[in-house]
Amino acid sequence: MLKLYIGNKNYSSWSMRPWVLLRQAGIPFEEVYVRFDSFDADSDFKKRIGSVNAAGKVPVLDDDGFRVWDTLAIAEYLAERCPEKNLWPRNIHARATARSACAEMHSGFGALRSACPMNIEADLKDVGQLIWRDKPAVRADVARLTALWQGLLAAHQGPMLFGDFSIADAFFAPVCMRLKTYGLPVPGDIAAYVERLSAQPGVKAWIEGALLENDFRDFEEPYRVKPSSAEQ
């Protein structure tokens, strides 16, 4: 059986993508959870994940000892390993567009990533209002996301970006979590897509897992302080 090494579901946007893809596609896999304790070289996290990935990062896909790291590489490997699942769109042009969108997500939107780290269980709408007011680069990233998603939804007539759920939706799922957590303003059609994607079984299962963790990691929390034991 496939194994997928992941970090904390509440915080690990990179882990979310292949986990959601596998779960949504109905591809059996074993989840191997590697808890974030810190990202220092001598941390338990780095020691554990370093034994399976020299880059020292999650996610990692293990297929009977053959290991693939990086979310795009994992997605491509799964698409080739399980062609019957149609993880990419069937149409050659749609497939190329989906790959382009995933690559843009993979390497872009740095302002949004930096200012709004994924934190599924938190309600940071007050913070989001300040970010929206003070950070034009975040507004520009959201404007680009809006234009991209609107174009794809219109071209492929939804409900997902390419009609049916695909790798592209899995790649953008963490961004949807950010939009919800920080309450960033988007048009109604984009808000509706965010809700539709959040309700997909694979995404919903990840969210539920994140909410159950109850594992506050202060180095992942730029906007909150650790609650006291009485508040937990």
Read out DSSP for 93-108? Answer: HHHHHHHHHHHHHHH-
Determine phi and psi for 69, rounding to 5 degrees.
-120, 165
- Residue 158: predicted pLDDT: 86
Q: What is the greatest pairwise CA distance in the chain?
A: 56
Please return the burial class of 61, using the count of CB atoms within 10 Å of its CB with bins 0-12, 13-18 and 19+.
Answer: buried
Determine phi and psi for 141, rounding to 5 degrees.
-65, -45
Domain boundaries, the chain: 2-85, 92-207
Determine phi and psi for 18, rounding to 5 degrees.
-70, -30
Is 2-85 a domain of CATH 3.40.50.970?
Answer: no
Q: What is the CA radius of gyration of the chain?
A: 18
**What is the assigned CATH class of domain 92-207?**
mainly alpha
Residue among 158, 151, 143 at smallest CA distance from 195: 158
> Which pTM value belongs to this model?
0.96
Q: How many whole angstroms separate alpha carbon 41 and alpha carbon 97? A: 38
- Look at residue 31 and give its three-state secondary structure: strand
Cβ(101)–Cβ(149) below 8 Å: no
Q: pLDDT 10s digit of each residue in the chain, 232 long?
A: 999 999 999 999 999 999 999 999 999 999 999 999 999 999 999 999 999 999 999 999 999 999 999 999 999 999 999 999 999 999 999 999 999 999 999 999 999 999 999 999 999 999 999 999 999 999 999 999 999 999 999 999 989 999 999 999 999 999 999 999 999 999 999 999 999 999 999 999 999 999 999 999 999 999 999 876 544 4
